[in-house]
Amino acid sequence: MEALKNAFDFSDFPRLDLVIAGAVGILFVCFPLFPHSAFAMATMIQFFIFSLYGMGWNTIGGYGGQVDLGKAQYVGIGAYTTAVMLIRWDIPFWFSMPIGVLFAVTWSFIIGYPLFRLKGHYFAIATIATSLVLKDLFEVWDFVGAARGLEISPIKYAPPDFLRLIFREDVYYYYIIFCFFLVGILYMNWFRKSRLGFQLRAIKDNEDVAQSLGINVHWAKIKTYAIATAFVSVVGSFHACYIKNIEPEDTMSLNLSILIALMAMLGGACSLWGPIIGAGVLIPLKSYLKEWLGASAGLVGIDLIIYAIIIMIISAAEPRGFWGLVEMIRRRKLNCWHCSTFAT
């Protein structure tokens, strides 16, 4: 009960933040009721998906300070588990998804023990290596479709099928991933106030001091890595049912791992709202600029240039991302208020 209470307790946030979050939440709930294009709906679903990916990365990358550039391998494990079990044995999403999480978490423990003997850029490079090795394995493994991947055929089922997550209209996928999104926020709100969350921040500040305080640094990192893995694996399973076409090059690519990390870092690592803000900026930017400037105007690559410029500008102004900018502005206003108070 205490954990549930902490999950719903947002009292340490300013009231303005909660009002804005509530208003945005209402807009999310009502979005499908307003006129919208299929492209806009797909972009919103991608926003929720990548927000959750970013939340998962934020546990180990933001709070733990471990730059993980291999999260796509767990997206792939979740996606392929669900796709294989649905196609070959007709096992519904709600049963295959936890099995995918089990596979992903098991793999995270297997590689996490040696990985967390490394630090800094050595750890980041090692996560890239493990992800690419797994991707190469899937590309030659005929059981999972090898390089051609797998395709979930909706013709075999009678939509709407809530057990298998097969729908004709994207609005069903929208509200399901939105529910996952809300659960993710509540979990992260609990996590940042949990014992493990405080341990990770101590480890991030100074591992030697954390060790001297009795924190098992290595085990705390491995547990958090498993939590981050579970996050992205669940969403990976959903992603398989949503896009219905799974290929190693798309689902387990290095580009996906880097994009997941950038979501959290640009929005504000080690903050509750950071991954959501990052996804809110980068996903529409990625989708709409590619459509408008890349495909429509024939300016291929201009979207990537604008994308990089925004990242450089924000990083130069505040290394902690958008949320760091918000906190910096608040501190300045508070200091100005104190100065004016003392002056009078």
List pLDDT tens digits, range 99-120.
Answer: 999 999 999 999 999 999 888 8
Residue 83 has pLDDT above 70, yes or no: yes
Percent of the chain with pLDDT over 90: 49
Residue 8 is encoded by which pair of tokens? 């719903």
Instruction: Give the pLDDT confidence score for residue 303 in this predicted structure.
Output: 57
- The residue type found at 35 is P
The phi, psi pair for 273, rounded to 5°, reads -90, -10
State the average pLDDT for the chain: 86
The phi, psi pair for 158, rounded to 5°, reads -110, 90
Whether residue 66 contacts residue 307, with contact meaning beta carbons closer than 8 Å, is answered with no
Residue 243 is encoded by which pair of tokens? 């896009």
Confidence tier at 85 by pLDDT (50, 70, 90): very high
**Which residues, in sequence order, are bridge partners of residue 246?**
150
Residue 282 is encoded by which pair of tokens? 């980068």
Confidence tier at 259 by pLDDT (50, 70, 90): confident
CA–CA separation, 225 and 205 (whole Å): 18
Place of tokens 């939440």: 25
154 vs 162, residue with greater confidence = 162
CA–CA separation, 180 and 304 (whole Å): 29
Instruction: Give the pLDDT confidence score for residue 138 in this predicted structure.
Output: 93
Instruction: Give the pLDDT confidence score for residue 106 in this predicted structure.
Output: 96
Of residues 93, 79, 64, 87, the one with CA closest to residue 256: 79
Angle between helices 274-289 and 321-343 (to 10 degrees): 130
Residue 82 has pLDDT above 70, yes or no: yes
Query: Residue 66, by phi and psi: left (phi above 0), alpha (psi -120 to 50) or beta?
Result: beta
CA–CA separation, 290 and 52 (whole Å): 22
Instruction: Give the pLDDT confidence score for residue 298 in this predicted structure.
Output: 47
Instruction: Give the pLDDT confidence score for residue 287 in this predicted structure.
Output: 75
Place of tokens 């990052």: 278
CA–CA separation, 11 and 45 (whole Å): 29
Length of the chain: 344
Instruction: Give the pLDDT confidence score for residue 297 in this predicted structure.
Output: 45
Kindly report whether the global pTM for this prediction surpasses the value 0.85: yes
**Which residues, in sequence order, are bridge partners of residue 141?**
none
Q: Integer distance in angstroms from the first to the last C-alpha of the chain?
A: 48
Over residues 278-317, the pLDDT tens digits come to 999 888 887 776 666 554 444 555 655 666 677 677 766 6
Over residues 122-161, the pLDDT tens digits come to 999 999 999 999 999 999 999 988 888 898 887 777 778 8
- Region 19-36: mean pLDDT is 93
Confidence tier at 326 by pLDDT (50, 70, 90): confident
Least reliable range by pLDDT among 64-73, 198-207, 250-259, 286-295:
286-295
Coil, strand or helix at 259:
helix
The phi, psi pair for 246, rounded to 5°, reads -110, 125
DSSP for 96-141, please give it. HHHHHHHHHHHHHHHHHHHHTTS-HHHHHHHHHHHHHHHHHHHHH-
Residue 194 is encoded by which pair of tokens? 């949990």
CA–CA separation, 199 and 35 (whole Å): 47
Confidence tier at 266 by pLDDT (50, 70, 90): confident
Whether residue 322 contacts residue 266, with contact meaning beta carbons closer than 8 Å, is answered with yes
Percent of the chain with pLDDT over 70: 89
Confidence tier at 51 by pLDDT (50, 70, 90): very high
40 vs 329, residue with greater confidence = 40
Coil, strand or helix at 57:
helix
Of residues 318, 337, 338, 336, the one with CA closest to residue 328: 318
- The residue type found at 323 is W
CB count within 10 Å of CB 306 equals 13
Instruction: Give the pLDDT confidence score for residue 316 in this predicted structure.
Output: 66
The DSSP code for 207 is H
Residue 6 is encoded by which pair of tokens? 């902490």
Of residues 134, 87, 86, 153, the one with CA closest to residue 249: 134
- Region 152-180: mean pLDDT is 88
CB count within 10 Å of CB 175 equals 14
Instruction: Give the pLDDT confidence score for residue 324 in this predicted structure.
Output: 74
